Structure 1
Amino acid sequence: MSPVTCLPSLRGFLPRTGLLLEARGTSIDLSRPRIMGILNITPDSFFDGGKLLAPGTDRPNVAVAVRKAKALVSEGADLLDVGGESTRPGAEPVPVERECARVLPVVEALAAEVPVPISIDTRHAETARRALEAGAALVNDISCLADGAMAGVCADAGAGLVVSHLRGEPRTMQENIAFERLIEEVATELAGAVERARAAGVSSASIVVDPGIGFGKTAEQSAALLVAAGDLEAACGCPVLVGASRKRFLGAMTGRDVGERLVPSVTAAVLAVGAGARIVRVHDVAETRAALTVAEKAAAAYVRHAPSTVDGGSP
């Protein structure tokens, strides 16, 4: 076996000098893999719904959310993603006013108390606008810019923008899972959304793409997209975020219920980064950070000890 045979699976763990994500005056260094910790301010998210709401209400428990956020940062989260609408398959839409009532107090508190950039997970431009005013730096839009005003809101604020692949909406997305050439079609549709964002004034340096694992995809399709970051980055010219944590496709592959998917989730994060993802969105930050640290150190050690023909630079 050639000594460079294993290198492609390690490239994602090697430093990529100069790769930055610009978000409202903050330059987020993507030279190494970054972890986005999840904060769901919802009663019905598939894994942790209700944990950050005041008991018996639909209002956020801001103190609990801030404690959770600080814990995630101490465990190694580089960004935090705050969401007020469950986007699990079949989920009912949440009105903007209710979504804002859930997330805005949390975003405002986190922006004041937590030393990492805050992302707002929403498909509604009005929620995004208010969250950015409250201190968020990025918008994580799972709807592939279905709200025509979203890109303009991000452009006006100079915000970072994560564009995720989705056909339809969460309530109906599993009804449209037919792809003839999965990775090519996802890449093409994401590239189109990126162009719409750029046309609206969003800086290329502020855009990230996400394959939308579990959003209108079968388990096999999600598994393929888990390791397709290199294809997506090449097609879109943007860094890639992957969110696979605790999702149903991991259960389909392992037979494990959502509460038993820690090991599959960490494995998925390592695979995604190895394939080129620069950000992984996770529930289990400490475990993911430990796994990525081992992988990064192993990749660096391999390059130091490999023959001089091995290129340790960017993929």
Structure 2
Amino acid sequence: MQFKDKFIDLSSPKVMGILNVTPDSFSDGGIFVQIDQAFSQVQQMVEAGASFIDVGGESTRPGAKAVSEQQELERVIPIIEAIHQRFDCVISIDTSKALVMSEAVAAGASLINDVRALQEEGALIAAAKAQVPVCLMHMQGQPRTMQTAPEYHDVVNDVIEFLKKRIDSCFQAGIEAHNIIVDPGFGFGKNLAHNYQLLANLDKLKQLNTAILIGLSRKSMIGNVVNRAVNERLAGSISAALLAVQQGAQIIRVHDVKETVDAIKILLMMNTYKENRDER
């Protein structure tokens, strides 16, 4: 997939490192709000093998408060400019605001990652004008209320139908198929059963004919099964990531880049020998 002047081969899964420049994100809130700290974290993630750095200036954890457009810009633009000048990676802007999308792309971002799937005012037009790939995520409700008794007729089919409609909206706005990525939105308006139904049927998203991004890292769907605190969910997060990769996930959005990259390398090595066996 082409990201401005950089091509990323998604025939093998790639890792996206999370950089939350927010004070209130569920796992790393407040840690990387200073540019020096953020810059150091980016360096570590890129050296560990991250192909993407996802920069977010507004928390989307359950119960999170909204931030103003100006505040979000002040948080993300300086770090995007710094990353763009120093690192050879794709910068993703995690936002739902049209102006933040436009300004971030101008500063060096080459992927728009929107948890609201370009449904906010002006977002679809801004993304089309930016002419960079977009990631459309499914979310039921809004961050402040999304975990209040979410309901689905059939969570897998409901998510797929939602994403189909958003893909059609992108086509109508002039965004081409090769520039679309989808994300089923684990943890966004979904209870434990919904999340694992989606994980067990992730391969069904292949019918959308887009790249697939997943974000499972350290989420409550991991913690509620292994009964671990947020900072003790590494093994569970890697296990879930590998299960997703085996079903076709191509971009894995994580906090723990080095460990996830290593785990994927082992899986790919095994798959190489499995393919050789099948060809005999």
What TM-score bracket applies, with the shorter chain setting the length?
Answer: over 0.9
SS at match of 2:211: coil
Query: Counterpart of 2:230?
Result: 258
Query: Counterpart of 2:50?
Result: 77
Please give the root-mean-square deviation of Cα atoms over the aligned residues, in Å.
Answer: 1.2
TM-score (norm 1): 0.86
Query: Counterpart of 1:243?
Result: 215
Query: Counterpart of 1:118?
Result: 91
Query: Counterpart of 1:268?
Result: 240
The verdict on how the C-alpha distance between 1:227 and 1:208 changes in structure 2, with shifts beyond 3 A counting, is farther
In the alignment, is the contact (CA less than 8 A) between 2:22 and 2:32 conserved in 1? yes
SS at match of 2:63: coil
Q: Which amino acid aligns with 2:12?
A: R
The Cα shift of 1:25 comes to: 3.9
1:62 matched to 2:42? The reply is no
Between the aligned residues of both structures, percent identity stands at 38
| Partner of residue 90 from structure 1, selected from 63, 74, 85 | 63
SS at match of 1:71: helix
In the alignment, is the contact (CA less than 8 A) between 1:211 and 1:242 conserved in 2? yes
Give me the whole-angstrom Cα distance separating, in 2, the residues matched to 1:168 and 1:97: 24
Give me the whole-angstrom Cα distance separating, in 2, the residues matched to 1:137 and 1:94: 23
1:43 matched to 2:23? The reply is yes
The Cα shift of 1:165 comes to: 0.2
Q: Which amino acid aligns with 2:196?
A: A
Q: Which amino acid aligns with 2:150?
A: I
Query: Counterpart of 2:142?
Result: 169
Query: Counterpart of 1:14?
Result: none
Give me the whole-angstrom Cα distance separating, in 2, the residues matched to 1:227 and 1:204: 26
How many residue pairs get matched? 280
Give me the whole-angstrom Cα distance separating, in 2, the residues matched to 1:207 and 1:227: 23
Asked which structure has the greater RCO (Cα within 8 Å, sep 6+), the reply is 1
| Partner of residue 32 from structure 2, selected from 49, 52, 61 | 52
Give me the whole-angstrom Cα distance separating, in 1, the residues matched to 2:272 and 2:9: 18
Query: Counterpart of 1:18?
Result: none
The Cα shift of 1:143 comes to: 1.0
In the alignment, is the contact (CA less than 8 A) between 2:16 and 2:53 conserved in 1? yes
Query: Counterpart of 1:293?
Result: 265
In the alignment, is the contact (CA less than 8 A) between 1:23 and 1:158 conserved in 2? no
**How far does the alpha carbon of each residue in 1:75-101 deviate from its partner, in whole angstroms, 9 at most, with x for none?**
110110000111001111111111111
Give me the whole-angstrom Cα distance separating, in 1, the residues matched to 2:87 and 2:201: 32
TM-score (norm 2): 0.97
Query: Counterpart of 1:106?
Result: 79
In the alignment, is the contact (CA less than 8 A) between 1:119 and 1:139 conserved in 2? yes
Unaligned runs of 5+ in 1: 1-20, 54-60, 309-315
The Cα shift of 1:201 comes to: 1.1
Give me the whole-angstrom Cα distance separating, in 2, the residues matched to 1:239 and 1:219: 25
The Cα shift of 1:146 comes to: 2.1
The Cα shift of 1:252 comes to: 1.1
Q: Which amino acid aligns with 1:140?
A: N
| Partner of residue 6 from structure 2, selected from 26, 30, 33 | 26
The Cα shift of 1:307 comes to: 5.0
Q: Which amino acid aligns with 1:214?
A: G
Q: Which amino acid aligns with 1:134?
A: A
**How far does the alpha carbon of each residue in 1:245-303 deviate from its partner, in whole angstroms, 9 at most, with x for none?**
00011111111111110100111110110111001000000100111000000000111
In the alignment, is the contact (CA less than 8 A) between 1:41 and 1:102 conserved in 2? yes
The verdict on how the C-alpha distance between 1:170 and 1:195 changes in structure 2, with shifts beyond 3 A counting, is same
Query: Counterpart of 1:219?
Result: 192
SS at match of 1:173: coil
Query: Counterpart of 1:6?
Result: none
Q: Which amino acid aligns with 1:184?
A: N
Give me the whole-angstrom Cα distance separating, in 1, the residues matched to 2:99 and 2:128: 14
